[in-house]
Amino acid sequence: MRPKEKQILEAGLIHFLKFGFKGTSIDDIAKAAGVGKGTVYNYFENKEELFTRVVNHHEQKNERAFARQWKQYKGKDDPLIMFFIIHYRRIKEDVRKYNITLETFLELIENYQEKQGEKIESKIQDLINLLIQGVKDGRYQPADHRKQAMVLFELSQQYLLKWIKMNDSDMEKDIRDVVSFFLTGILV
């Protein structure tokens, strides 16, 4: 990645998180990145492409951080519970770090879900893999893992706003309660 492209992506991240997709313009991002508007268009076709690339760039950083945290917790707790705890900690860190308002957060989630279907599918596949491994390890009973993963993912989306508003320890306890309640039907 070229330095100017990285500057634009970083400026885009800050502006999209602070002002939302609708409240951010290419002019704003160019000015914040210290480049001309034409330079932005040399790297990105339009605001939608820039947003998608910003999300992908940020997701890659978050995935690396997730992998580091996952190594620390692997084997110490139920993997599904830890998957959600680590994932929602990352989201909360971003909300705090960038001081994201609830309105902007909701808009960004909506835009993310519209544009990032394959990323969501990847998270569902991660859940499927954890469920399959849980069956192999004797933690869960065999079932339709795709349906289970989709229900867990949708359930977590319903709790998202509640969890990011809670303090960390209450959020972790609530995640444990919700996921454990769901798993009760599939525990051996």
| Predicted local confidence at residue 188, as pLDDT | 47
Please give the mean pLDDT across all residues of the chain: 89
| Residue whose structure tokens are 């609530």 | 174
**Contact (Cβ atoms closer than 8 angstroms) between residue 9 and residue 57:** yes
Helix (H, G, I), strand (E, B) or coil at 24: coil
Helix and strand numbers (H, E) in the chain are 9, 0
pLDDT digits (tens, 9 = 90+) for 106-118: 888 877 776 667 7
Q: List beta partners, residue 140.
A: 187
Helix (H, G, I), strand (E, B) or coil at 188: coil
pLDDT for 77 equals: 84
Reading the block at residue 132, the tokens are 């399959």
- For residue 187, report the phi and psi dihedrals to the nearest 5 degrees: -70, 145
Lowest mean pLDDT among 12-26, 72-86, 132-146: 72-86
* pLDDT above 90: residue 36: yes
For residues 164-188, give the mean pLDDT: 85
